[in-house]
Amino acid sequence: MYRTSLLLVALLALPALAQPPKPDPAKLTLDRVFASDDFKGDPVPAVRWLDGGAYTTLAPSKTHKGASDLVRFDAAGKGEVLVSADKLIPGGAKQPLAVHGYELSKDGDLVLIFTNSARVWRQNTRGDYWTLRRSTGALRRLGGDAKPSTLMFAKIAPDGTRVGYVRDNNLFVEAVAGGAPLKLTADGSEQVINGTFDWVYEEEFFCRDGWRWSPDGKSVAYWQLDTRGVKTFTLIDNTSGSYPVLKTFAYPKTGERNSLCRVGVVPARGGPTQWVDVPGDTRTDFYIPRMEWAGNSTELVLQRVNRLQNAVDVMFADAATGKVRTALTERDGAWVDVDDDALAWVEKGAAFAWVSERDGWRHLYLASRDGKTVRRVTSGGFDVIRVLHIDEKAGSVYFIASPDNPTQHYLYRAALDGTGAPERLTPADQPGWHEYDIAPDGARAVHTYSAFGKPPRVELVTLPDHKVARVLATNDQLRETVAKLARTPVEFVRADIGGGTTLDGWLMKPPNFDPAKKYPVLFHVYGEPAGQSVVDRWGGRQYLWHLMLAQQGYVVACVDNRGTPCSRGRDRRKAAYRNVGTLASADQTAAARALLKARPYLDPARVGVWGWSGGGSMTLNLLFRSPDLYKTGMAVAPVPDMRLYDTIYQERYMGLPQDNAADYARGSPITHAVGLKGNLLLVHGTGDDNVHYQGTEKLANKLIELNKPFALMPYPNRSHSVNEGANTSRHLYALLTRYLTDHLPPGPRP
């Protein structure tokens, strides 16, 4: 009792416990960037366009917390609830279905709801589908006796009476009114894939949904991938149980056999498939990455790509007989991109849009259906980056371009007859990066605008006057939070590397930058033909992490070498052909030396580099090839040996390893590992199905053989994005920050 009383008196005598200090709004920390909601943006409603400029979107339900209403907005911006959340409560349930996706029939009466979705493999998801008749309120689950979360790519038939979907790698059609599902294919298995794709088509040709209703709803066209005979790769999951769990899948590495790919047409009421007779062997010689109905219900149009990917054939196929004819062939001395901008129908189906680099710049052409005439629509010394909309009635085409600054994107309009100069529609007072989703009638668009260090604003605009009709997401709170951060304006630069070549880049300097002192510089690299890094747009958490490093006393820099897909013409982009890894690392080194020479405040004794995926490979190449310049490198999920990557990507840019083994060896970092002198951190997810951990282990073996010290951090069972599991991103960036601080000390020096 005595001791307790003394303790109580002592506690009462203590001053009030100090409250933890509030975080400095000007300063970034790892917790603020990766473990808080400080930089969470506004939700952006996904817009689905209807006729006449109207659109639908999902909005939070006012009656059911966490649920959604389906809302329609007319061209004037007036909204009405089409489907309230309480209409989506199945019999016996208390809560509405969670809407993860939806589709409306043409008459608007039938709603197809995607729910209970689960990521099963990579980008694709499977889930459950329900139909709702707005006129009757009838809510019905599709799939018959299918297990939960097993349906994919469901679509309403043109007449609104049926829904087709993929289940267990087979195609099904089911009447909306009820009845057993009709199985259109019966040979689907783990190795035979109907209506979707194998790993390499999905990853490198961006193929997901592998089937199409005919316009009259009487037939279904679909891809079939047969992976039998393709070599498999096995991932080992050591963390899910007491014994390893193995996941094996078909993965064709460079020079190996691909899946058999073919396209067929099956009656929507059931019956045998008519296979399209595309010449050539898709296991060894060709790919079929694109297929659509050719503006009618009797013909298909396909793009066939040869194994080297330097020729694309546009083929028309008779849906009834499978016979094909070639209408157009596009060739290039390097590679031809498979383009989704192509094959929009004009002139009542007598011609189609085609994008080509045949004159050295990326431009839009119109090709006749028989292929006999090809007429250029746009011309001049600039690239049409992406075709967005063709408005035949108005005689114009909308596209993205940036003739004066390849780090930016703007909306342009040009005449379909090729006359006159293109007109920029994006306002001149909005420098940066602009994206547009244009309505089918061309009168409105969802416009997203951001710039470097400036979060995006999303709005509905009218076209062609570009007037704001409605703001969809302001991100005002996020912008205010970012504006309070201590920072200096980014500097966009052009590094002269000689021979008349300049490279685009940017520099982020510390907030209290003193040009009379010397600062460590960290280069962020990618440099592959698949992506552009020097862009004037909002960079999200990676930008914030780079800014955090700048606040700690680093200069952070980025340069795009030749061979990246910037809008500087065909020759600039395709300089990487058979030179991946070699030309890029030479350009990056030359640019770094040029920047160090021109800017005395960059400390040549403290130069670091980091990158992810292809950027991880670039990091290795720079450390190994130029050890006198780069002192510290952090490579996340790299490809140390290009021979270990997949057929479609690597062969597109390097050719076949059987034909040019020397180019593969010369471009692969592992070949140059003997040059390592600085500090190297390797990071890789052991569950990476894309860039396999195998390559990092092979490099580790090589470095051990060469007696080279290095650090290695495997992330158990993480994928290529290294973000699965609690706290993973926070942990990863803490690791990178700590390694950088330990081996490339921050802060200015005299």
Mean pLDDT of all residues belonging to the chain:
95
Mean pLDDT, residues 465-494 taken together: 97
Contact 289, 337 (CB under 8 A): no
For residue 502, the cross-strand partners are 496
Tell me whether strands 374-376 and 363-368 are parallel, antiparallel or unpaired: antiparallel
| Buried residues in 44-60 as b, exposed as e (16+ CB within 10 A) | ebebbbbeebbbbbbbe
- Which of 492, 518, 487 lies closest to 507, judged by CA? 492
Mean pLDDT, residues 659-670 taken together: 97
Q: Read off the pLDDT band of 558 (50, 70, 90).
A: very high
Residue 710 confidence (pLDDT): 98
Q: Read off the pLDDT band of 36 (50, 70, 90).
A: very high
Residue 17 confidence (pLDDT): 52
**Is the confidence at residue 255, as pLDDT, over 70?**
yes
Largest Cα–Cα distance of the chain, in whole Å? 105
Contact 719, 688 (CB under 8 A): yes
- What token pair was written down for 333? 């001395």
Q: How far is CA 328 from CA 292, 316, 361, 376, in A?
A: 16, 10, 19, 14
- SS3 at position 374: strand
Mean pLDDT, residues 121-125 taken together: 68
Q: How far is CA 275 from CA 224, 314, 465, in A?
A: 10, 17, 48
Q: How far is CA 189 from CA 118, 186, 222, 225, 252, in A?
A: 20, 9, 16, 10, 19
Residue 423 confidence (pLDDT): 97
Q: Read off the pLDDT band of 339 (50, 70, 90).
A: confident
**Is the confidence at residue 12, as pLDDT, over 80?**
no
Residue 343 confidence (pLDDT): 78
**Is the confidence at residue 415, as pLDDT, over 90?**
yes
DSSP string covering 114-180, please? EEEEEEEETTEEEEEEEEEETTT--EEE-STTPPTT-EEEEEE-TTSSEEEEEETTEEEEEETT--P
Residue 679 confidence (pLDDT): 98
Q: How far apart are the first and last CA of the chain?
A: 65
Residue 151 confidence (pLDDT): 97
- Other beta carbons less than 10 A from residue 516's beta carbon: 8
Element counts in the chain: helices (H) and strands (E):
12, 43
Alpha-carbon span 483 to 38, nearest angstrom: 12
Q: How distant is the alpha carbon of residue 679 from its chain centre?
A: 31
Mean pLDDT, residues 706-723 taken together: 97
Segment 214-242, tens digit of pLDDT: 999 999 999 999 999 999 999 999 999 99
Segment 729-741, tens digit of pLDDT: 999 999 999 999 9
Residue ranges per structural domain of the chain: 490-743
Mean pLDDT, residues 297-311 taken together: 98
DSSP state of 646: B
Alpha-carbon span 695 to 344, nearest angstrom: 41
Write down the residue that tokens 């001395």 correspond to: 333
Residue 20 confidence (pLDDT): 64
Residue type, 559: V
Segment 103-116, tens digit of pLDDT: 999 999 999 999 99
Q: Read off the pLDDT band of 2 (50, 70, 90).
A: very low
Residue 123 confidence (pLDDT): 61
Residue 53 confidence (pLDDT): 86
Q: Spelled out in words, what is the top-level CATH class assigned to the domain 490-743?
A: alpha beta
Cα R_g (the chain), whole angstroms: 28
Alpha-carbon span 540 to 122, nearest angstrom: 22
**Is the confidence at residue 342, as pLDDT, over 90?**
no
Segment 345-391, tens digit of pLDDT: 999 999 999 999 999 999 999 999 998 999 999 999 999 999 999 99
Write down the residue that tokens 């994928």 correspond to: 719
Contacts of 336 (CB under 8 A, 6+ apart): 305, 309, 310, 311, 312, 330
Alpha-carbon span 749 to 611, nearest angstrom: 26
Residue 22 confidence (pLDDT): 78
Q: Percentage of the chain with pLDDT > 70?
A: 97
Contact 309, 323 (CB under 8 A): no
Please report which helix (H) or strand (E) contains residue 594, including its range.
helix 582-598
Residue 23 confidence (pLDDT): 81
Q: Read off the pLDDT band of 10 (50, 70, 90).
A: very low
Mean pLDDT, residues 668-696 taken together: 98
